[in-house]
Amino acid sequence: MTDNTQVTAKRILIVEDDDDLSNLLHDLLVRNGFQDITIVNNGDKLSKILHLKETQAPDVLILDFRLPGQSGLYLLPQIKNAWPSTRIIVYTGLEEKNHELLEVLPFIDRLLKKTVPISSVIQSVKEMAG
């Protein structure tokens, strides 16, 4: 899963409230050559970041929908408005049949269920950051 190839400097933002999962994603991304990685663990913090003028948009965002504070599902249109060029990977346990999820699908570059191997998430980041 890891190839230790240096990837060009890309900003990655992980928005996930499960500390173990976000740390694992971080570590695997580092092993795959990414260095500029930020972790945010709730929707309220992400909302504040979105409204800061000096915040540089991430190149790739890994977003969970179920977050403390404001949900990722609710924040998705705001994310795309603030950072239109950011590629968004939603990594969630929500079912596709959820009507709210269907409404935001146009904002998402890739939808991955948390049942897929974590290597699929890393591969998606590499493809989108390329």
Annotated domain spans of the chain: 11-129
pLDDT tens column, 26-66: 999 999 999 999 999 999 999 999 888 778 899 999 999 88
Check residue 17 and give its pLDDT: 94
Query: Any idea which fold 11-129 has?
Result: Rossmann fold (3.40.50)
C-alpha span between 52 and 36 (Å, rounded): 18
User: What is the DSSP code string of 68-99?
Assistant: SSS-HHHHHHHHHHH-TT-EEEEEE---TT-H
Contact partners, residue 6, CB within 8 Å, separation at least 6 = 33
Assessment of whether the complete model's pTM goes beyond 0.75 = yes
